[in-house]
Amino acid sequence: MLKGNLKYRVFAICSLLILSSSFRPDSLYDFRSVYLRDLNEMHTEHGVSMSDRVKIFRQFLTPPLSKFNYRNRTVQGTNIQSWIRRKGDLRQIRILQSTITIDTIAELTDIETGRVTNRIPVKGNFHFKVYVFNKLSSPQRLIYITSPNSGLQYFLIDGKADGPLRESIEVGMDEALEKLRKEVTKVSGIRI
């Protein structure tokens, strides 16, 4: 009985070693594809000026992740992936992935009169990724907030928010973004 149990343990340990050595956390880093998707959407919707405003994020398309230590954790439903190192200008990359549930009534307001013209029930899930880049040379974090369904929502450079102007906004998105801001601050201490 002991020999069989020992063989199982050796097999399990070897399997874990093989899996852990074949796992590459840099394969989880998807900012390049997300940024290019968002850039393509912004270019077609907003012209060159928006692309110029987000070009600062190009430097994060292919960071040398092999020089970073990787950590993954989940805090209150938000998945937080971190790549951290002690040397170099880029010190930390974090990706916070969160699903925000909305169950509310959205009010549509007439721009000219300021009166509520319609109330729409909003119920559903909004998915977001928040990319946070900490650089030694930058006094503030560079933050990029995106949604797989709606693209870039906004970004922060030196603590100042900017983002695309859309002809139409998904109903409930403003409420979802407000909940996201609170959630990210609560689980990570980062103000977005």
Give 167-185 pLDDT, tens digit per residue: 777 888 999 999 999 999 9
* Banded pLDDT at 8 (limits 50, 70, 90): low
Q: What is the pLDDT of residues 70-83, one digit of tens each?
A: 999 999 999 999 99
* Banded pLDDT at 133 (limits 50, 70, 90): very high
- Reduced 3-state DSSP string for the chain: CHHHHHHHHHHHHHHHHHHHHHCCHHHHCCHHHHHHHHHHHHHHHHCHHHHHHHHHHHHHCCCCHHHCEEEEEEECCEEEEEEECCCCCEEEEEEEEEEEEEEEEEEEECCCCCCEEEEEEEEEEEEEEEEEEEECCCCCCEEEEEECCCEEEEEEECCEEECCCCCCCCCCHHHHHHHHHHHHHHHHCCCC
pLDDT surpasses 90 at 34: yes
**pTM above the 0.75 mark?**
yes
